Amino acid sequence: MAEMGHTRIRVEIESSKNLDRNIGLHKSIFQARKWTFLRDSGTVGRAYTLHELQLNLGARVDARAPRVEGMVARKWFLLVGEDGNAVTSTDAVIVDIEDVVAFRKAVKKEFRDSHLAGIAASDLTVFANRAEYDAKRSVLLPQSGSPVTAYGNNEDNALIVQVPKRAESDSRYFIQPNVQEQVEKAVFVIVEEDEERNGVGMGVFFSPTLAVTCDHNLTEQHTVGSMVSLALKEGIEAVEVVARSSLLDFAILKSSKPRSFFIPPWNGRPDELRGRYDLVLASYRLGIDEYQDVFKNQLGFAPVAGISISAHRRHIMYSCPTYAGDSGAALLIKDGFLVGIHLETINALREEMDRKKTVKDRLNDVEESLDNIARSGLAQGCSGLLVHEFKDVVSE
Last residue of a domain, one of 254, 285, 318: 254
Does any domain span residue 394?
no
Give the mean pLDDT of the chain: 75
Measured CA to CA, the distance from residue 117 to residue 115 in angstroms comes to 6
Q: 292-337, pLDDT tens digit by residue?
A: 678 888 999 999 999 999 999 999 999 998 888 899 999 999 988 9
Asked if 237 and 200 sit in the same domain, the reply is yes
Measured CA to CA, the distance from residue 104 to residue 120 in angstroms comes to 9
352 CB burial (10 A radius; 0-12, 13-18, 19+): middle
Asked if 278 and 384 sit in the same domain, the reply is yes
Asked if 284 and 350 sit in the same domain, the reply is yes
**Would you place residue 76 in the very low, low, confident or very high pLDDT band (cuts 50, 70, 90)?**
very high
Sheet containing 10-12: which strands, arranged edge to edge? Answer: 10-12, 38-40, 45-47
Last residue of a domain, one of 221, 254, 287: 254
Asked if 218 and 321 sit in the same domain, the reply is no
**Rounded to the nearest 5°, which phi and psi values hold at 300?**
-125, 160
Q: 204-256, pLDDT tens digit by residue?
A: 999 999 999 999 999 999 999 999 999 998 899 999 999 999 999 999 999 99
Asked if 288 and 380 sit in the same domain, the reply is yes
Identify which has the larger pLDDT, 46 or 193. Answer: 193
Tell which phi-psi region holds residue 285, choosing left (phi > 0), alpha (psi between -120 and 50) or beta. Answer: left
* DSSP 8-state class, residue 99: B
**pLDDT over 70 percentage in the chain:** 68
Measured CA to CA, the distance from residue 62 to residue 7 in angstroms comes to 8
Does any domain span residue 328?
yes
The pLDDT value recorded for residue 123 is 86
Identify which has the larger pLDDT, 13 or 254. Answer: 254
Does any domain span residue 295?
yes
Asked if 286 and 352 sit in the same domain, the reply is yes
Sheet containing 159-162: which strands, arranged edge to edge? Answer: 91-95, 73-80, 159-162, 125-127
Asked if 240 and 288 sit in the same domain, the reply is no
Does any domain span residue 374?
yes
Does any domain span residue 395?
no
Asked if 152 and 223 sit in the same domain, the reply is no
Q: How many domains does the chain have?
A: 4
CA angle 52, 57, 61 (to 5 degrees): 75
Query: Would you mind telling me the total number of residues written for the chain in this entry?
Result: 396
Contact indicator for 30, 56 with CB cutoff of 8 Å: no
Q: Which domain holds residue 44?
A: 2-57
In this predicted structure, the answer to whether residue 149 has a pLDDT above a threshold of 70 is: yes
Asked if 303 and 212 sit in the same domain, the reply is no
Does any domain span residue 235?
yes
Does any domain span residue 65?
no
Q: 155-202, pLDDT tens digit by residue?
A: 888 999 988 876 556 678 899 888 899 899 999 999 988 777 788 899
CATH number for the domain spanning 286: value is: 2.40.10.10
Average pLDDT over residues 272-278: 92
Does any domain span residue 40?
yes
